[in-house]
Each structure stands twice: as structure tokens, then as C-alpha cells.
Amino acid sequence: MPLDLAFELMMMLTSGCALLVSAWLFWRARRRRSMKALAGFGIMMALWCAGHVAVFYGWHITGMALILANPLMPTFFLDFAIGFVNQGPAQRLWLTRLARYRGLMYVVAVLISLSTLWLRGGSIIAFGPFEHYFVFHGSGWFNIGYTIFIGMLAHALLLWGFIHQQGNRRRSIAAMFAAGAWGLLLATSFIFPSLGLLWYPWPMLLLPSYVLLLVYGVVRYQMLEVNAWANRALLWILMTTLLLGLMALFSAMAGRLGMQALAAVPQWQLWLYSLLLLMLALVLYQPVSKLVERLIYPGSRLDEQLLDTWLARLRDTDNWHTLAHEAQQLLARQMGQPVTVRLLTTPPRFEPGSGLELWCLHQRNDWQFRLKGFDDVTPGMRLTAEVFGSLLATRCGLLERSLQLAEAERKRVSEQHLVELGGLSAAMAHELRNPLNIISMATAGLDPDRKAMIQDQLKRADRLIVDMLAYSGQLHIQPRHTALLPLINSLKPQFDWQQVRLELNLPEHYQLYADPYRLQQVLTNLLDNALSFLRNQSDGRLRLEAGDNPGVLWLHNNGPSIEPDMQSRLFRPFVSRRAGGSGLGLAIVQRIMEAHGGHIHYRNDAGWPVTFALYFPEEPTS
């Protein structure tokens, strides 16, 4: 290939690449001015190369005008550097002020370009293989000097940004410097004929790579699709090089293999046919790939937008029930048929035999998914379920950690509140008991009826103080095996039973693993609370019986049933149905049960008007 034609083709290729890259950058830039400035740099590079092509074809004035527009190229790059560097932690007031003079910089560049064109800052000469080649002289040297100065200023600004920036922006600046060094090496040969060195500008043949490397260095850390494009471009270049090498080798050996007709074909034609086939394969790759995907994974319609929707919908859930319901709706809508989603902390004892199910299991401190009933669905549907299951398992892990953190924070706040309440209660008890003792001593000389009335109220006040201290204080549990019948018998004399019957349905040696003193508090509060209602009726009955499982105790009574609106507030402090009650008895019981690791529930489905079920933990195995 003639050398002048090779130079012309490279200039045209550089111009085309620069225009395409600039159009793509401008489309992606949106409101990012720095990227628009970089697109402007690419456009000026395209026009500069077009100027050389115009000179080759004899359009000297047009070509010289485009080449002498040199200063606009680094001006656009300086504009880009200002916006690219002046972001994040490196943002400075002086850079913001410098950005206000962008318009003036463009005006100066245009004036220098027009003046050097008017003063004939260059001419057209012939040397070597070139009949028309542009060289600088006179005012043209000022043009090229100003261009170099603005370019150095832009790179100095990038160097400052490299020192002050971090992360991807810093890596982008380093990539720009590498591309800039490559561009400087290529462009140097363009000036040689202007210096009287009539050497062929071989490095200029690689100029298309400069534009691509520069833009890629800027955006490779900013836009993911650029890296995907670079991956395909590099693969295409390597395939092209390999194909050309193989065709050259095959052409050289065709004669020896007896293929005379093929050996007679010019090598450039073989290369051309190979490149055309390669380009055709490149064009057809995407549609053929989609067709194959539809054949292999029919029904699969996964894309980035769908995955983003799934992630957003799953992220909005804040509890297990909502997460399972939302996941079930999303997957069923995508599959086009009902799908059951189950979130399990332990594997179930049996597996269903029909229907599509997605399980998320908590195993070995991690969440994993399983598909049930998907053996007969299409591969595309199964792929969809697998991708969704992976996202759901990840969301389960995040929700679990979020709930654990929320529970830990709730306990911390509750414990802090109890500490403050305990201190306040102790101070109040001390302050209240002093005047109560004085009042008690002052009743010594009163008549018996009035003294008894005052003493009853003093006992009530003292019981309220005791309950408040019990609820707000810290609970120290020392559980051990405790026989229940002897404990009940020791408590009987403390209560005024009147006509109420106590029925004990307990094995003779029935035991609970509990703190004896705290268990006594639980039974005292529950029995006292029940008796306050049962004494008012003639057939009052109270039954204490063992549950079906170890550690379960049932306390029934046939007193008045509890109103539905009261049932949800039974164990809250200062909520009471009895006259003169402190409202802390059941709250204290709940605290003691939770301190044991157990719990208490109100039941109205056990055949009695009122039933309390107490669940104590079993003795831990060592």
C-alpha cells in the first residue's frame, strides 16, 4: 500500500473514531459538563485530522483552517480537566473561579486560530511520498506554541488532581497521563517536516489509538458499559490479527499443498475476504446470540431493569412475613403460575409432593435457597427461579442482621430505661416509707376501726412500693429443680381463701427448673390476682395443673372473663382490672418468666373463663 494512502486512511480513521466517541460521550454526558468538554475535544481532533485529508485532496484553504484550529483542542481539554478535577474532596474555590473564564479561553483560542490563518502561519509542501503536506512557519509557530502551553496547563491541573483526588478519579487521571504520553509520542512526528526534517511520520499511523485510549482512560472507572465495549473491541482486534496471520501462513503453504488456484489469489484479497467475514460475524453475533439464548433458555426474560425492580421491592420489606409475601408475588408474576415461597430457619420434617416452591433455609450461619417441583419446568423458568432465589437468600441474610441489630438496640434502650427506673424507684421508696412509718406510729392512739382502716391503706401503699421495686429492679435468676407441691402448700396460709376452692392436678413429685424465690413471686401474684375476683362469687374455683409437656403449668379460674380490649394489654405495667391493684402484678410475672428464658400467655380456649399458661425452660444439658 502506498505510504501517502496509508497516512490518509489513518487520518480518516482517526476522524471517524473521534466523531463516534464524541457523539457517544455527548449522549451519555447528560448534565456533566466535563464530559461534554471531552466530547468537544474529540470533535476538534476529528476536524484536525479532516484538515490533513483536505490538504491531500487540494483543498488547501479549508485544510489549513482546520489544522490551524489547533488551540481549540487543548482548550476543550483544559475545560474538561477543570470540571473533572474540581469535584468531591478536591473541590477548590480557585478552580470554581477559573471555570467562570471558560468562555474567555475559547475566545482567545478562536482569535489565535483566525489570526494565524490570516497571517498565513503555514504552507503546503511536497516531500517523500506526499504531494501535499502542511508545515508551520511564521505566526504558525505561535499557534503551535500556544497549543502546547494550554495542553501543558491542562495536564498540570490533572497532576494537581492526581495528588488531591482518591479512588476511581485518581486512577482515571493516571490513565489519562499514560494516554497523553502516547499521544505526545505520536504527534511529535507531525512537526518534523516543519523543522526541516523530511522524515515520514510513521507514528502518526497509530493516531486512532490515541483518541480511544484517552477516552477509555477517562471513563473506564465511571461507566461499566465502557469496559464491556473495550473487552469486545480488544477481542475483535486480537481475532483480526490472528486471522490475518493464519491467512498469510495458509497462502504461503497453499502451493506446497497442491492448491495452486488458491496460491494464485493475491494475499490482500484473502485478507479482505477474511475481514469481511469477520465483520459479518461481528454484526450477526448479537442477534444469533439472542436466538440461541431463546432456544436454550426459552421463557427466560431476565434483564437489568427486572433485577433492579426485584432488589428494590425486596429491600422495602422489614419483616419475615412481608418478605415472604412480596417474594411470592414477584416470582409468581414472573413465572406466570402460583409459586409458594417459604422462609425456614430449620429444614421441614416432610417435603410437599406437588406445586412449585422456593425455600430459603438458614444453614451454617448463612441463607441458601432450594427449588422444589421445578424438575418439569423449562430451563429458562428454572434459571429465573435460581436467580430470584439467590437474590432472596441475600435479602434474608441482610434482614436477619437488620432485625438482630434492631433487637439489640431495643434491649439496650430497655435495659437503660430499667436502670433509670430502678434508681428512681429506690429513691421514691425511701422517701415514701419514712412518712408512711410516721403515719403508722401516729395511729396508735386511735379507735380500732379507724386504726384498721388506716393500716389497710398503709399496707396497700407498701405493697405498691414493693411491686414497683420488683418490676424496676434487676432480676438475678438462680434456677434449680424446685418441687412445686411443697411450695404451694407453704403459700396457702398467706391468702384469704374464703369460699374459693383450690384444686391441684399435679404429680406428687412434680418439679420445675426455676428460681424458688422468683417462682414464689410468680405464684403469689397470680393467686392473689385471681382471688381478688373469685371471693365475690359463691362457686369460686382455682385449678393448678401440669401441662402435657415438661415445664408447662396451667392456672385456671372460673372468675369473670377478660374483655377483648384488655387482653392485649394484660402484661403492661399499670394496667389493672381489680380495685386497689397496683397494675404491676402481671408485668412482674412476665419479667420473671422472660428472665428464666420462658414466657406466659393468657388463654381463653382451655374450657375456663380465665387461663394463664406458664412455660418454663427445661434444664440445659451440659
Region for residue 606 given its phi and psi (left: phi exceeds 0; alpha: psi -120 to 50; beta: otherwise): alpha
Contacts of 581 (CB under 8 A, 6+ apart): 529, 532
Report if pTM > 0.75.
no
Q: Which pLDDT belongs to residue 345?
A: 76
Res. 216: pLDDT tops 70? no
Q: 622 pLDDT exceeds 50? A: no
Total residue length of the chain:
622
Give residue-wise pLDDT tens across range 328-381: 998 888 888 888 888 887 766 656 556 788 888 887 778 888 888 887 777 778
Instruction: Tell me which of 86-100, 422-436, 546-560 is least confident.
Output: 422-436
User: What is the grid cell recorded at 550?
Assistant: 415438661
Has residue 203 got a pLDDT over 90?
A: no
The mean per-residue pLDDT over the stretch 36-42 comes to 88
Residue 229 has pLDDT above 60, yes or no: no
CATH domain 3-222 topology: Rhopdopsin 7-helix transmembrane proteins (1.20.1070)
Q: What is the pLDDT of residues 108-163, one digit of tens each?
A: 999 999 999 999 999 999 888 888 899 999 999 999 999 999 989 998 998 898 88
Residue ranges in 165-223 assigned as alpha helix (H): 167-191, 207-219
Q: What is the rounded average pLDDT for all residues in the chain?
A: 81
Helix or strand holding residue 340 (H, E): strand 339-344
pLDDT by residue (tens digit) across 491-526? 888 888 888 888 888 888 888 888 888 888 888 888
Could you give the CA distance from residue 307 to residue 505 in angstroms, rounded to a whole number?
60
Q: State the pLDDT at residue 530.
A: 86
Which of 88-97, 186-195, 456-465, 601-610 is the least confident region?
Answer: 456-465
Class of 478-615 in CATH = alpha beta
pLDDT band at residue 280 under the 50/70/90 scheme: confident
**Dihedral through CA 25, CA 26, CA 30, CA 35, nearest 10?**
60
pLDDT at 224 over 50: no
Higher-pLDDT residue of 46 and 276 is 46
Segment among 95-104, 156-165, 530-539 with least mean pLDDT: 530-539
Residue 225 has pLDDT above 50, yes or no: no
